[in-house]
A and B are shown apart, each in its own frame.
Chain A
Amino acid sequence: MDQKKQHQAEANTSIDRTAEVWKALEEVRDPEIPVLSLVDLKIIQSVEVAEDRVKVEMVPTFAGCPALNMMRNEVVAKLQSLGFEHVDVEFTFHRRWSTDDLSEEALKKLRAFGIAPPVRLTLPEAENHIERLQRAVAQPVVCPFCGSTETKLDAFFGSMLCKQLYFCMTCQQSFDRFKPL
């Protein structure tokens, strides 16, 4: 094989390997919201593969989320099972994590799981975050079970950092809402 071809082959292996890593990571689920993977949740945004090494950056949702370490362990185990000698998982606070970056598909899965998805915070830029949030929180929340907007906030803080507790007056059920962040 001439040198150019060999380089090409190596590059292809690396691309295949990277795709394989992403595919495996899509199988690592959030422990509390198993319908979403860490990739769906944008907790994993970047992967670097070099021979037997893989480096993954994880962007925490809420900085104090107690599940972060569990997620990291699962990522490490998953990638070791692909045969990587060195698995390097790092938390970074330098990348943005916002519910605004979740895909429509991810929001649909949340709703199907019985969690009201977060409203988008993308409101005019001139306002500061607290105002944006105030307006977002004031918007009606749709019940994930019956679609009613006759709902009320029961508790500002829920069972987990990422959730708030709501009650639907129409179907008389409590439900969680993923906090817009």
Chain B
Amino acid sequence: MFEVRNLSVSIEGVLKLNDINLKVKPGELHVIMGPNGSGKTTLAMSLMGHPRYKIVNGDIILNGENIKELPMYERTRKGLFMSFQHPVEIDSLRYLTFLLEVLKKNGKNPDIDWIKRVFEKMGLSEEFLNRNVNAGFSGGEKKRAELAQMLLLSPKYAILDEPDTGVDVDSMKFIAGAINEALSRGTGIVLITHYARILNEIGKGFYVHILAGGEIKAEGGPELAEKIEKQGFGE
């Protein structure tokens, strides 16, 4: 289980998240929705261990181990994954070189054919592997490549920060497909999104948590997401 207990986080001394609690079991999908600036990315980054986000209180438990002091790369190696809302462009590193190194460092077999197959499954031709990491990728291509990485790493838990923002209908199918595949493999997923649209493509039940002003304000099932889609965050 992946558990967030009473987590409070500050950025440069300003409190951005207050007393967040979350429990994710293998194969479960937890959706986080909330207005811009409500702290969703902050939550994702804090769980991942980005040094800029300071945990002032609470714990992060991955399968019984408190990982809140661990550096990012160790959390990844223990099976936590995050797809970025804005993946960085690295214009002097080939995607394939990068992936081979990432797989090696995470104890996976760096098999080029397998990488190609996963990319293809995400609608990305081989050519993307020869380009530099995200350099000149369109918004949708970046997000698909992020999820291709998730499929390659097959993490225990994945935090996906707006994988569906700015993507077209076709891209959306690839992304939903990757989420469904990961869920069926038993990956527990925290999905940050603004749209109920992607949730219609998910083939199973899920939980919804509403984050506003750095706090969880409401929790429920799919019906909550629909309500938000119709009425906004209103109250």
Q: Is B a genuine binding partner of A?
A: no
